Amino acid sequence: MTMAYLVQHGEKERLPGDPGLTQVGREQAVRVGQWLRDQGIRTLYSSPMRRALQTADGIASVTGLAIQTDPRLRERLNWDGRESYDAFLALWARTTDDRDLVPAGGESSRQAGARLMTFLADLGPPGPVAAVTHGGVTIDLLRTLLGDDAVPPDLLSAGVPPCAITAVDDLRVVTIASRR
């Protein structure tokens, strides 16, 4: 295993489906790329979702690294627009409160945390690596690794800020949602 920097995607458009980044989100990605370059990242992974890939593009533009997609970095539940946004948020809240609840078309918080943990456990040298992912699955991982009581309450309520970095070394959490 190696040091992994889990990067929350940049600010996204408020659209259903697979939205891209706003202009601010693209700028955030480049700034994070500059910081990650200084950390000596050797590999760049990304969720296959558009907002994550666009964030990885911004990082790659600075680091020169090729992007490798991995579906284990995807979000556990995504608003597709078939229900209202309020209904989606209510479902998200239920799946956050009940970590074993598996919604239609998604997976439970516990399953998502285990999936991201498997991705991290499969990483090997050389490192460090950056992995662009999503806030929900990052929180699911933190709850799995640290327990619910150790996750900052504001992170559970407000989510991971755009382009915040959670650093994990050998499945040990080093930093949580640090903004660069």
Q: CA-based Rg of the chain, rounded to a whole angstrom?
A: 15
Which tokens go with 54? 């666009």
Of 9, 11, 107, 134, which is the active-site residue? 9
Q: Does 9 participate in catalysis according to the annotation?
A: yes
**Cα→Cα distances 16→51, 69, 79, 80, 105, Å:** 12, 22, 5, 5, 15
**Cα→Cα distances 139→31, 57, 63, 96, 158, Å:** 23, 23, 26, 10, 11
Give the span between the Cα atoms of 138 and 176, in whole angstroms: 9
Instruction: Indicate the angle between helix axes 135-146 and 109-122, nearest 10 degrees.
Output: 80
Q: Does 134 participate in catalysis according to the annotation?
A: no
Of 11, 13, 27, 75, which is the active-site residue? 75
Q: Which residues are catalytic?
A: 9, 75
